[in-house]
Amino acid sequence: MSILEAIRAKAAGGELSAEQSRGFIDAYLGGELGDEQATELLAAIFEHGMVTGELVAWTEAMLNSGELLSWPGLEGPILDKHSTGGVGDKASLPLAPALAACGAKVPMISGRGLGHTGGTLDKLEAIPGLSTSLSVSRLREIMDQVGVVIAAQTETLVPADRRLYALRDATGYVASIPLIASSILSKKLAEGLDALVLDVKFGTGATMVDPADGEELARTMLALAGGCGLSTTVFQTTMDQPLGCAVGHTLEVDEALECMRGEGPDDLRELVVTLGGALLSAGGLCDDEVAGQAAIGEALDDGRARERFAAMIEAQGGEGGVTENPGLLPRTGNTSVWCSPASGVLDLADCRELGLVVADLGGARGAETREIDPAVGLRWLCRLGDEVQAGDALAEIFYRDGSGLATAEARLGRVVRFDTGRTPGPLVLGRLDS
């Protein structure tokens, strides 16, 4: 069967064989198949899912599309974290350098904005001069010198995910368990890790809205990682409001820097400390998770995480001075305060809409090539369950030249609810260990 026939068979509800998965990835990367055929396959996987063996083979084909990293001679456990994505999720920015400050080595291959969620790479690239497109040899040098690097997929590093990730963002084939699991694990398995923590989010701001889907995604990734011998812990976390207050690239770097000063929103710190504690413990760098949490907290409070972040930024060609002077980040110079239209106990009908506000303002890609404006976004000034009065400031909007402001304000007006009786749950709902 040709690859094109295999795509059609998948679209009709069939399964891809391991050979067909490898054949598709080779042909797509080699230019024999274009985005149109790849979109057909994404649509088929989105529609029909994948059975276990099929997903394992598909993930292996993505993983083996590029180099597999290994770290002979590098001291310290090789650790990493990845999130399934959510509105305002900037946890990787403080977590990666905090782990390195505690003795871990962190070769984090990350992603760009996907759907309504922002990507770690785009956030980091708000920093003037910083590049996430690194050769494998440069990545190794930075790991040797700084112990932490946050890098993009490239032509030689999980190129299959590089292409398919961008295509999913452009076509909207995002919220699919096999597509998310293979995307994340192809990157993480290529990193040569000793231990991995996954943050699987569900709720209206996450890629997976339904808790049952979140649970299935968590179990699927745990089984995939475990099958490859990678020690993995999955944290299941809620996302019905932004993580922290900032949504938008520069604003999220600001907030990550606050976290690395021992300040900033409590939920962001709680998440960073929880995930970091689990990783330090899995990597043997502390006696147990409680000790690991304390170690991460100290690295955030005493400036070591921030110093490591500055060193990483400079090693990646960026302006390390932003850690002491966030004024060096791109700014719009225009802000508008959005006030509550009514009084009552605050709720959000759909947190995803806050991610779309950033898109309205020009802070997201509409297609693979469109530039994003890193300076736009919003600061969400309240939390679900707060008692607010009509006229209270609920959000600060950072816009450029008035562009998208009216649309963003109208969106906020549609999404805010009062007195629904819903109470916000805890941030971390559960965990699964391999």
Q: Catalytic residue at 120?
A: yes
H or E element, residue 378: strand 377-380
Select 179 or 361, whichever has its Cβ closest to ligand URA.
179
Check binding of 180 to ligand URA (CB under 6 A): yes
Shortest Å, Cβ 381 to ligand URA: 27
Q: Catalytic residue at 48?
A: no
Out of 10, 123, 187, 306, the active site residue is: 187
H or E element, residue 393: strand 393-399
Residues 281 to 320 in contact with ligand URA, rule: CB under 6 A: none
Q: Catalytic residue at 183?
A: yes
Strand partners, 336: 397
Q: Which residue has tokens 């230019």?
A: 31
Written as six digits, the tokens of 144 are 């040797």
Q: What is the DSSP string of 72-120?
A: TT--S-BEEEEE--BTT--THHHHHHHHHHTT-BEEEE----BTTB--H
Select 183 or 204, whichever has its Cβ closest to ligand URA.
183
Print the SS3 string covering 173-215.
CCCCHHHHHHHHHHHHHHCCCCEEEEEEEECCCECECCHHHHH
Q: Beta strand 79-83 with 195-202: parallel, antiparallel or unpaired?
A: parallel
Segment near ligand URA (CB under 6 A); pick from 61-69, 183-191, 273-281, 406-414: 183-191
Select 198 or 253, whichever has its Cβ closest to ligand URA.
198
Check binding of 184 to ligand URA (CB under 6 A): yes
Out of 10, 21, 65, 81, the active site residue is: 81
Shortest Å, Cβ 302 to ligand URA: 31
Select 180 or 375, whichever has its Cβ closest to ligand URA.
180
Q: Catalytic residue at 188?
A: yes
Cβ atoms 7, 37 nearer than 8 A: yes
* Residue from 183, 232, 250, 323 in contact with ligand URA (CB under 6 A): 183
Q: Catalytic residue at 81?
A: yes
Residues 104 to 123 in contact with ligand URA, rule: CB under 6 A: 111, 114
* Residue from 59, 65, 84, 241 in contact with ligand URA (CB under 6 A): 84
Shortest Å, Cβ 106 to ligand URA: 16
- Rounded (to 5) percent helix, strand, coil in the chain: 45, 15, 40
Task: Determine the Cα–Cα distance for residues 19 and 22; give it in Å rounded to an integer.
Answer: 5
Shortest Å, Cβ 283 to ligand URA: 22
Segment near ligand URA (CB under 6 A); pick from 177-185, 365-373, 381-389, 400-408: 177-185
Check binding of 237 to ligand URA (CB under 6 A): no
Shortest Å, Cβ 239 to ligand URA: 12
Segment near ligand URA (CB under 6 A); pick from 181-189, 209-217, 238-246, 410-418: 181-189
Shortest Å, Cβ 217 to ligand URA: 10
Cβ atoms 82, 187 nearer than 8 A: yes
Segment near ligand URA (CB under 6 A); pick from 142-150, 180-188, 264-272, 373-381: 180-188
Select 84 or 250, whichever has its Cβ closest to ligand URA.
84
- Measure the N-to-C terminal CA separation of the chain; round to a whole number of Å: 37
Q: Catalytic residue at 407?
A: no
Distance of CA 69 to the CA centre of its chain: 21
Select 169 or 289, whichever has its Cβ closest to ligand URA.
169
Q: What are phi and psi of 65, to 5 degrees?
A: -75, -15
Distance of CA 42 to the CA centre of its chain: 20
Task: Determine the Cα–Cα distance for residues 275 and 119; give it in Å rounded to an integer.
Answer: 18
Written as six digits, the tokens of 15 are 């399964």
Select 215 or 347, whichever has its Cβ closest to ligand URA.
215
Calculate the CA dihedral of residues 238, 241, 244, 246 and round it to 10 degrees: 140
Select 110 or 316, whichever has its Cβ closest to ligand URA.
110
Cβ atoms 181, 224 nearer than 8 A: yes
Binding site for ligand URA (CB under 6 A): 84-85, 111, 114, 179-180, 183-184, 187, 207
Catalytic residue numbers? 80-83, 120, 168, 183, 187-188
